[in-house]
Each structure stands twice: as structure tokens, then as C-alpha cells.
Amino acid sequence: MIREHKGFVPLSLSEFDTLTRLLSELLSTGHPPVIIPGEAILGIEAMAAGISAPGRTFLNVVTGPYGSLFGKWLERGGATVVEVKVPFDEVVPAEEVAAAVERFNPVALSFVQAEVVTGGSNPAKEILKIARGFNLITVMDSVSAVGGEALPVDEWGVDLVAVGAQKALAGPNGVSAVSISPRGWEFMESNVNAPRNSILSLLDLKPPQQGTRPVRVPPNIPALEARALIAALTDIEEEGLEQVIKRHESAAASAVAGIKALGLEPWQKNSKHYSTLTTTVRISEQNLRIDQPVGIVAPGDGELFGHLLRINHFGANACRQSVEEAITTLAQLLNQDAAHALKAIRLVWGAPHDQ
């Protein structure tokens, strides 16, 4: 057999345009997002590096481990960082954010939209409304929220937001995006400390202004990952973002119904603020202490180990079957019959009980 040696086909301008369009549509924004040549965490660190400077005060909301990390990166850039921190089985009340803004008079506010680790989701719309009232720059980590809940970037006035595809969007983890408003770009461009000629530089990756097309594909975008992201976002477009979000809502509601039927309690205290990506289960019995994941049931991360179990019903696992398997696993750990819990799950999905 004769093999043709064509070599690797680099990402074309048309593929790059497609990716930019799909990301803009996903986020309902008219401003082309920056495509980040790496995992979402790179975009988050790059945001912190680009906006942090001595003399700037940030209000950083901490409702889980990613928020703490973001605060440390802001401090590394010389900014003054004040925190609003809540126990990890709660989310931040919007009034607490408002009170802290009045007290500390920050220039910017940062928070994580949804926390897969704690199973909580912050009241993003209310928090952003408060921030706009005070004319603050708003910075969000929505890596695990996008695809699981609403994120209309322009309508909500988000200035910088990091997203990734490896959670609700069932996409690759090797390329991600940061969406930046014109105000967000000004905030970064006016920062003399913002990195240049660096893997952390968002300024180096700034897309051309609206209306002007890029003349070349940024050479650092990993082509295979970019193609995988195009494929994942095309699937999302076909299913419809609203339907994807609904699927995550049903997965969460059915997981909660399932654990309650087993006599277990969610780790998160307020049912209005459960994340749609993970359901966290308060560990009440020795039997629930697992060291290794079993399917989509996983032990708590870091300091939450031994306190909670996570059911990771996101992406392709935001479906009835995956939730049923997870609840069956929990029933087995508890030496219980799963039948009534499975019935509770099917009720939420609207499927016949005896199916």
C-alpha cells in the first residue's frame, strides 16, 4: 500500500473563524473571545495576571477552592485583595457581596459562577447586577457553569469570563476561552504590569476589533484540540444550549430525588443554589467513605474528602442512565434496595415508573 505523506494539516482560518463564532454564540456575546491555547485554568491565571496591579483593590468571593486560588494569583500581581468567604456548604448571598463592596470600595469583583467541587452555584445574575450598580469590573470563572446554567455575557455585563468545554459541554480540556468586554480590555491595557510575550498574556492574543477579520490563525492554538472543540460546540448547537441546560437541571433534580429516597442529604444547604453539574452528598455513614471514584460517584476533593461524595452528572453523564447508575452505587454502599430511589429518578425525567 502506498501511503501519502501529506503531513499535519494546520488549523485553517476558516476553522478558526468557526470556532470563534461558536464560542461567541455559546456566550451570547458580540465580542470575539480569546481562544486560550491550554486548559481553562490557564485562562483563569492569565485573567488574574492581566488585571492585577498595585493600587487596585479587588473583592474576591470565595465559595470553593478555585476562588482561593484566584485570590492568590491576584495578590501575586500586587493588587490588594479583600475576600468574602462563606463555608463551602453554602453559596454567597448577594446582600453580603453588596455590603462588602460598600465597605471596601473595590475596582473589580471576581467570583466562581458554579462550583463542581462543593455542588453550589452562586447567584450570578444578582451579583452582577450589584457590581454594575457600583460600576465595577466583573471577573468570572464560569468553566463549570457554561452549558449547565445561563451565561448571557453581554446582557449580564460580564467584563472577563473564563470558560472551558471539559465539563458540561462534553468537549476537550486542551483548549479554552476567555471572553472580554471592551471595558475589560481597557482595564487590562491600562495595566502596565499586564504580561506581554508570555504564555499568560491575553493582550498578545487580543482578537482584531469587531468587523475586521483575523489575517492569520494564532500559531499557538493546538489544532487537534481546536477541532475537537469545534465538534463539541457543533453538537451543543445541534442539541440547543437551552436543551443542554435543561438536561443538566433534570440530572441534578433527579440525583437529589434519588439521594433523598435513600435517606441521604445534599451537602449544600440551600436547595435554590444546587449546581446543575454535580450533586454533593453529605457523608452520614462510614459506608459512604470511598477512596476511589466508582463510575461518576467520586470522593470529595482536598479538604472536602470524607465530608462529601460527588455525583458528577455533567456533559455526557447529564442523563437518566448515569444518574440511575450513580444512585445504584450509593444504594449498594448503604446495603439498601435501590428500587424506590430509581422510581424517584424516573419521575423527574418523566419516564414511566416501571420502565
Ligand X SMILES: *Cc1c(COP(=O)(O)O)cnc(C)c1O
Annotation: binding site for substrate: 310
Distance CA 264, CA 283 (A): 8
Interior angle at CA 113, CA 61 and CA 128, nearest 5: 75
Q: Cα torsion for 185, 186, 188, 189, to the nearest 10°? A: 110
The stretch near ligand X (CB under 6 A) out of 9-17, 28-36, 38-46, 132-140 is 38-46
Among the listed residues 28, 41, 93, 195, the single contact to ligand X using CB under 6 A: 41
Residues recorded for the chain: 355
Angle at 159 between CA 158 and CA 162, to 5 degrees: 80
For residues 184 and 137, the answer to whether their CB atoms sit within 8 Å is yes
Tell me if 143 contacts ligand X by CB under 6 A: yes
Q: Which residue is nearest to ligand X (CB)?
A: 144
> Which of 19, 22, 23, 40 touches ligand X (CB under 6 A)?
40
CA 19 to chain centre: 19
CB 68 to ligand X: min, Å: 11
Query: Is 52 or 118 the residue whose CB approaches ligand X more closely?
Result: 118
**CB of 19 or CB of 169, closer to ligand X:** 169
Question: Is residue 141 a contact point for ligand X (CB under 6 A)?
Answer: yes
SS3 177: strand
Q: Does 60 bind ligand X (CB under 6 A)?
A: no
Which helix (H) or strand (E) element contains residue 299? strand 297-299
For ligand X, the closer of residues 164 and 258 by Cβ is 164
Least Cβ distance, residue 85 to ligand X (angstroms): 16
How far lies 180's CA from each of 33, 139, 257, 280, 303, in Å? 6, 9, 38, 32, 33
* Residue 151 is a binding residue for ligand X (CB under 6 A): no
Binding-site positions read 310
For ligand X, the closer CB: 261 or 311: 311
Return the residue of 23, 52, 59, 66 that touches ligand X, per CB under 6 A.
66
Q: Is 66 or 349 the residue whose CB approaches ligand X more closely?
A: 66
Instruction: Indicate the residue among 173 and 201 with the shorter CB distance to ligand X.
Output: 173
Provide the angle, in degrees to the nearest 10, between the axes of the packed helices 124-133 and 94-104: 30
Binding characters for ligand X, 165-194, by CB under 6 A (x = yes): -xx-----x---------------------
Task: Confirm or reject binding of residue 225 to ligand X (CB under 6 A).
Answer: no
| Bridge partners (DSSP) listed for residue 177 | 35, 163
Please, what is the minimum distance in Å from the beta carbon of residue 144 to ligand X? 3
Give residues 2-31 in contact with ligand X (rule: CB under 6 A).
none
Q: Which is nearer to ligand X, 77 or 164 (CB)?
A: 164
Among residues 15, 39, 126, 325, which is the contact residue for ligand X, using CB under 6 A? 39
Residue 100 class from Cβ within 10 Å (0-12 exposed, 13-18 middle, 19+ buried)?
buried
SS (H, E, C) 180-194: ECHHHHHHHHCCCCC
The number of residues that bind ligand X (CB under 6 A) is 15
Residue of 144, 275, 317, 322 that binds ligand X (CB under 6 A): 144
Complex with ligand X: residue 166 or 328, whichever CB lies closer: 166
Decide: is 116 part of the binding site for ligand X (CB under 6 A). Answer: yes
What does 149-165 look like in DSSP terms, one character per residue? Answer: B---HHHHT-SEEEE-S
Output the smallest distance, CB 142 to ligand X, in A: 8
Torsions phi, psi of 5, nearest 5?
A: -100, 85
The interface region with ligand X, picked from 137-145, 206-214, 232-240, 346-354 by CB under 6 A, is 137-145
C-alpha span between 72 and 92 (Å, rounded): 19
Specify whether the CB–CB gap between 304 and 233 falls below 8 A: no
Counting contacts by CB under 6 A, is residue 164 touching ligand X? yes
CB 156 within 8 Å of CB 122: no
Phi first, then psi: give them for residue 85, nearest 5 degrees: -125, 140
Contact positions vs ligand X (CB under 6 A): 39-41, 44, 66, 112, 115-116, 141, 143-144, 164, 166-167, 173
